[in-house]
A = this chain, B = another copy of it.
Amino acid sequence: MRAIVLAEGAPYAPAPLSASHPLPPPSPDTTLVTIHAAALNHRDVWIRKGLYPKIVPGSVLGSDCAGTDESGRRVLINPSVNWASDPRAPENPDIYGMLGLLPLPGTLAEQVRVPSRLVHPVPSHLDFVHAAALPLAGLTAYRAVVTRGEVKPGDKVLITGIGGGVAIFALQFARALGATVIVTSSDDSKIARAVKLGAAAGINYKNLDWRKAIGAHGPFDVVIDGAGGEGVAVYIKSMRPGGNLVVYGSTAGSEVPLQIPIVFLKNINIKGSTMGNEAEFKSMLELVSKHEIVPIVSSIVDGLERAEGAFDMMKNGNQFGKLVIRVHEKHHL
């Protein structure tokens, strides 16, 4: 089958499309999924750059897809493997993993075989393209907003860096839960799009007074942050006592200065968050179905042979929403 396979050699070797990747062999308690659409995540770019320690050339890339199982049922796949239900962290970090990194198969392919417990029906209001956009970013946002952020109706929530897949799902989920959401971005057009999706307001952090603006919109019950950097201290100041600052990334800076006294005097919680467990994935699908949430897709690329263009878009990083690759049936087998 055709598949996007991590090349041997230097980081970011070109032309990762393999025309003759072996079909996944049958094994018990697994389901073969024929993929109709797959989505990219930043991690796929980082893997190609060699930034993941356990990277193995020959891995099929990709964590997200939607397609059909052997009985023709429309399905998508939970990319979080071997994390059942512990809300704190994977039960056994040694066997925990994610689709798209050997020994776990990836989704940028015509077919993938995965443990059957990871296969779920596509929410009925979604087509394959939008369903493919959901799994990894949706799960990460669900854990951040619901499990870690504990967002409740009426909460005031700050979501930073709107435009990325996780941040947009976090906005959609927090709105579905009845929260008031303020977003930040460096791009006024992204803020405008977020407001159309239900954000009450947006703050452009390139403006000189962005710190004041964040303070003026607070106090926040919950902050969902994928950026890190100098914003962290500003967010903590703007939070109500006992509030939750959920950090799921650090694209703006990995090391931040933390003022301990404000953290203890305000009983602040700083909670790291990754993608989630199987229980959270199911709850995420229920929330998406109940509120008929439609993932925001930035671009659709037609065919695995055009995947390199999608990778380029992902590297440029200016999209609002997910990048989806249609996988055409004519190429199956």
Residues of A within 8 A of B (CB): 86, 88-90, 93, 228, 232, 240-243, 247-250, 253-274
- 29 pairs of residues in contact across A and B, judged by CB atoms under 8 Å: A86-B242, A89-B240, A89-B241, A89-B242, A89-B266, A90-B241, A93-B241, A232-B258, A232-B260, A247-B260, A247-B264, A248-B264, A249-B260, A249-B264, A254-B260, A255-B258, A255-B259, A256-B257, A256-B258, A258-B258, A262-B272, A265-B274, A266-B272, A267-B271, A267-B272, A267-B273, A268-B271, A269-B270, A270-B271
A89 CB contacts on chain B under 8 angstroms: 240-242, 266-267
Q: How far is the CB of A311 from chain B (nearest CB, A)?
A: 23
Instruction: Please tell me if the beta carbons of A259 and B263 are within 8 angstroms of each other in the complex.
Output: no
Instruction: Please tell me if the beta carbons of B267 and A261 are within 8 angstroms of each other in the complex.
Output: no
Instruction: Please tell me if the beta carbons of B273 and A270 are within 8 angstroms of each other in the complex.
Output: no
A262 CB contacts on chain B under 8 angstroms: 272
Instruction: Specify the chain B residue showing the minimal Cβ separation from A257.
Output: B255
A222 to B133 alpha-carbon distance, docked (Å): 37
Which single member of B86, B257, B260, B271 contacts A269 (CB below 8 Å)?
B271
Q: How far is the CB of A91 from chain B (nearest CB, A)?
A: 10
- Chain A residues touching B, majority SS: mixed
Instruction: Specify the chain B residue showing the minimal Cβ separation from A148.
Output: B267
Instruction: Please tell me if the beta carbons of B269 and A272 are within 8 angstroms of each other in the complex.
Output: yes
A42 to B274 alpha-carbon distance, docked (Å): 39
Task: List the 4 closest pairs (A to B, CB-CB), nearest first.
Answer: A88-B242, A89-B242, A89-B241, A264-B272
A234 to B247 alpha-carbon distance, docked (Å): 19
A86 CB contacts on chain B under 8 angstroms: 242
A232 to B257 alpha-carbon distance, docked (Å): 12
A249 to B127 alpha-carbon distance, docked (Å): 52
A263 to B247 alpha-carbon distance, docked (Å): 8
A268 to B260 alpha-carbon distance, docked (Å): 16
Instruction: Please tell me if the beta carbons of A88 and B256 are within 8 angstroms of each other in the complex.
Output: no
A267 to B269 alpha-carbon distance, docked (Å): 12
Instruction: Please tell me if the beta carbons of A267 and B258 are within 8 angstroms of each other in the complex.
Output: no
A267 CB contacts on chain B under 8 angstroms: 88-89, 271-274
| Given known A88-B241, A89-B241, A241-B90, contact A265–B272 (CB-CB < 8 A) | yes
